[in-house]
Structures are given as structure tokens and as C-alpha cells.
């Protein structure tokens, strides 16, 4: 080996190895169309035969675990209520009538109001309306508790000072004072009260007879004592309150 060859060999070893060629990415296969991915007729027929064999071998297991949505939701709801008897108009009306009859026998409503810090009430069926205090026309030689008369839509209505009628002193007319127009038979009378409280509903068991300490006129005018939400309400006997001959 001569010197020229030795130099050529040394020069070739001193040079770095050439970079390896970059790897060429493999070609990505094109997406197969959906039609080519669909199972063939043989696979479909085999799946159907397998399902039929499963149903024949254990029908209950299949029916309990497999839900086949072939029925509309509303159809399923109505099919589950075939055995229910829906209420008819006649049965519903009869039920309401029974409830009304039961309530009319056991429950009564009263209009509660105040007289001198005491709570009184009248049967609401005897009250036609409630009005504000208006000017009275006095009647000569009338009882002390008769304040006068007013014209209510062309009808002459006498007005009683109810506290005075109940021997509680004369009423003091304020912005809260009201006239309760009551009807007893063909007679309409207005009763002056201090203020209106509310309508209360009392069951017959919540109404007690007048206490034995009452006597004379006081006992005649009191129908009973009602208990409502811890309060005692004096229930008045309207026909006796309106009877001016009862003194």
C-alpha cells in the first residue's frame, strides 16, 4: 500500500457517517365505504337464527332483559290503565253533592267583628252586605239603640247601635266602623259595629251553648260560644237582636 492510498483511507475514516435516510411513512389505507363494511347476507342470517334459538330456549329471560321499543310511549301508558275505572261526570257530581251535604250539616261560617274589644259573630247566611257609615235620619221617640234610618238603593233600612243594643255603651264611630246589613225574614236592618274582623268557619263541635251565668236579655241574644284558633267568639241570635220589643 502506498502513501496515497494510506491518506485516502485515513480521510474516509475521519468523515462522519452519512445521515440515515428518513423513514418514509407508510401509506394510510383509504377509508372503506360503509357499504363494504356492512355484514354480508350470511352473517345476518346467522344472527337471526341465533336470536330465534335464544327466544325458543328461554322466552322469559329474553322478555325480562330485552326491551324492544316498538310501541309508542303513550300507547304503553294507556295499555297499563285498562283495568282502571275512570270517574264519569255523574259519579263526580254525586261525589261533590255528598261533600256539600256533609259540610252543610257539620260546618257553618260566621262574620266576626269587634264590639268594645270583644269579638262577636253572626251567621254569614243572614248578612246581605257590609257598607261604610253614612249619614242617618233620626226617628222621633225611637229606642236609644236606634240611630236612625238610611236609604239603601231605594229601600229604607233602620240602623241599630249594636254595642248599645248589647248594653255595652254607645258606639264610637271611627274610620274602621262599618254597618252590617242583615236580613231576617222580610226585615232588613243595619248593625253598627266597631270594625270587621274576618269570616270564620266553625264545626258544630266547636260551638258551645251560652254559659249559665248569662240571664235575661243577654242570654236571649246569644246563640252560643265558638272556639276558633284559641279565641272565644260570641255568636249572636239575630232575630232576638232585631226584635225591638225584646228589652
| pLDDT in 10s for each residue of the chain, 247 residues | 555 565 566 556 555 554 455 555 555 455 545 444 445 555 556 655 665 665 555 555 444 444 444 445 545 544 444 444 455 566 656 666 656 555 555 788 999 999 988 899 999 999 999 999 999 999 998 999 999 999 998 899 999 999 999 888 888 999 999 999 998 888 899 999 999 999 999 988 888 887 766 544 567 788 889 989 888 999 999 988 998 877 6
Alpha-helix residue ranges (DSSP H) falling in the chain: 3-14, 34-37, 41-57, 59-65, 73-79, 89-106, 162-165, 217-221, 238-241
Q: How far is CA 45 from the centre of its chain?
A: 60
Domains and CATH numbers, the chain: 38-64 (no CATH), 108-241 (2.40.50.180)
User: What pLDDT is recorded for position 187?
Assistant: 85
The CA distance from 161 to 244, in Å, is: 12
User: What pLDDT is recorded for position 64?
Assistant: 46
Nearest to 163 by CA among 236, 245, 239, 246: 236
For the four alpha carbons of 180, 184, 189 and 193, in that order, the dihedral sign comes to negative
95: CB partners within 8 A, 6+ apart: 87
The CA distance from 36 to 32, in Å, is: 6
Amino acid at each position: 500500500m502506498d502513501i496515497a492510498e494510506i491518506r485516502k483511507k485515513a480521510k474516509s475514516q475521519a468523515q462522519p457517517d452519512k445521515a440515515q435516510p428518513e423513514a418514509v411513512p407508510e401509506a394510510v389505507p383509504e377509508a372503506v365505504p360503509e357499504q363494504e363494511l356492512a355484514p354480508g347476507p350470511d352473517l345476518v342470517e346467522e344472527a337471526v337464527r341465533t336470536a330465534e334459538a335464544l327466544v325458543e330456549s328461554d322466552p322469559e329471560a329474553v322478555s325480562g332483559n330485552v326491551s324492544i321499543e316498538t310501541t309508542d310511549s303513550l300507547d304503553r301508558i294507556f295499555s297499563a290503565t285498562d283495568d282502571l275505572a275512570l270517574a264519569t261526570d255523574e259519579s263526580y257530581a254525586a261525589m261533590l253533592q255528598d261533600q256539600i251535604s256533609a259540610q252543610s250539616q257539620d260546618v257553618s261560617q260566621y262574620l266576626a267583628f269587634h264590639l268594645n274589644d270583644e269579638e262577636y259573630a253572626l251567621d254569614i247566611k243572614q248578612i246581605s252586605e257590609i257598607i261604610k257609615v253614612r249619614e242617618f235620619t233620626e226617628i222621633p221617640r225611637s229606642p236609644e239603640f236606634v240611630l236612625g234610618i238610611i236609604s239603601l238603593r231605594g229601600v229604607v233600612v233602620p240602623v241599630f247601635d249594636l254595642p248599645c243594643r248589647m248594653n255595652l255603651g254607645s258606639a264610637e264611630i271611627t274610620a274602621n266602623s262599618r254597618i252590617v246589613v242583615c236580613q231576617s225574614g222580610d226585615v232588613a236592618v243595619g248593625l253598627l259595629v266597631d270594625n270587621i274582623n274576618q269570616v270564620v268557619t266553625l264545626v258544630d263541635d266547636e260551638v258551645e251553648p251560652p254559659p249559665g251565668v248569662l240571664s235575661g236579655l243577654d242570654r236571649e241574644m246569644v246563640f252560643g260560644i265558638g272556639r276558633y284558633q284559641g279565641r272565644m267568639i260570641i255568636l249572636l241570635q239575630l232575630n232576638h237582636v232585631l226584635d225591638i220589643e225584646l228589652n
